[in-house]
Amino acid sequence: MMDPVGPLPASVYWRRRAVAIGLALLALFALLWLSTRFLIPSDVTGDPVHAAAAEPDSPDSDPANPRAAGPASPAPGDPSQTPLPASDEPGAPPGQAEATSTGPASPSAGPVDETVRPDDTPRASVEVPASAPSPPTGPVPCTDEMIELRAETGQPTYPAGARPELRLVVTNVSGQPCVRDLDGADQEILVWSGDGGTRLWSSNDCANPATDDLRTLVPGEPVAFAVTWSGLGSVPGCAAARERVPAGGYRVVARLGPLTSEPAPLLMG
C-alpha cells in the first residue's frame, strides 16, 4: 500500500495521492463551515455585525444618542420647565392670552350713531276714553289733539362724558285708532340749556334722514323712538366744530311736526 505499483513512475502516483487527500480535506472543511453557518445561532459565532443586528433597540442603551433617550422629565418645582398656557387668541404670544372684560363698556367708547331709531322697550298702556268704532272707511287721520307727545331720558342723571339715551314717545290718547305719519324728518329730539334759553343740540343737525313710516296708532299704546346723544353740541347742518357740553342741568324736548313736548330734566356730571 505504501509503495505505488504500476507502469508509471512512483512520483506520479504520489502526486495523485496528494491531490486526492487535499480535495478530501477541502470538502471536510467546507462541510464543517456550512454546519457552523446554518446550525449554530448567529450570536454564538461572535460575529459583531450579526450580534448588533440581532440585539433589540433600547432607548437607554445608547447614551451618546439624545433622540434615543426620549424627552427628559422636568424636575419638580422647576419653573423653567413649566409649560405655558395656550393662547385663546390667534397670533397672541404663548402664555399671554388676551384678557376679556366682563364689566360694562365705557359709555364714551367708540363712535356714536345719532340717528333716531325705533325703541321697542316694553311700556305700560295709557288710560284713554272708551273706544269708539272706526268708520267704515278705516281709521281716521290723527289730529294733534288726539296725540300726546312726551320726552324721556334713559336715566335722570349721567356721569360726565357719558352718552345719554333720549327718547320721543307718542301716544294716541283718543278713543279710536288713527293714522299718523311718523316720518323721521318730522321727528326731532333737542337738548336745551337749563334755563331753556340756548339750543345746544338737535337730532336733526347731523343725522336723522327722512323715512316712510305711516302708522295706525292704537289708543293708549305708546310708540317710542330713541337716540344716543354723544354729549357734543351741534348746529343746523352740522357745519361747526362740535364741543362737549359741560357738566350741569339741561332740558330735553321732543318734537313731532308742529307738536312740542314738555321738557324733561337731564343732569350731566
Question: What integer pLDDT is reported at residue 145 of this predicted model?
Answer: 95
What is the Cα–Cα distance from 135 to 218, expressed in whole angstroms?
15
Is 142:219 a contact under the CB 8 Å cutoff? no
pLDDT tens digit string along 38-60?
666 554 444 444 444 444 444 44
Extended strands (E) in 2-146: 117-119, 140-141
What is the Cα–Cα distance from 116 to 207, expressed in whole angstroms?
8
Non-local CB neighbours of 178 within 8 Å, separated by 6+ positions: 139, 140, 141, 142, 143, 146, 172, 216, 217
Domain extent listing, the chain: 10-53, 117-268
pLDDT tens digit string along 56-83?
444 444 444 444 444 444 444 443 343 4
pLDDT above 80 (res 17): no
pLDDT above 90 (res 212): no
- In 10 A of CB 252, how many CB atoms? 22
pLDDT tens digit string along 118-155?
998 888 998 888 777 777 888 999 999 999 999 999 99
Task: Give 117-268's CATH code, choosing from 2.60.40.2360, 2.60.120.200, 3.30.9.10, 1.10.3720.10.
Answer: 2.60.40.2360
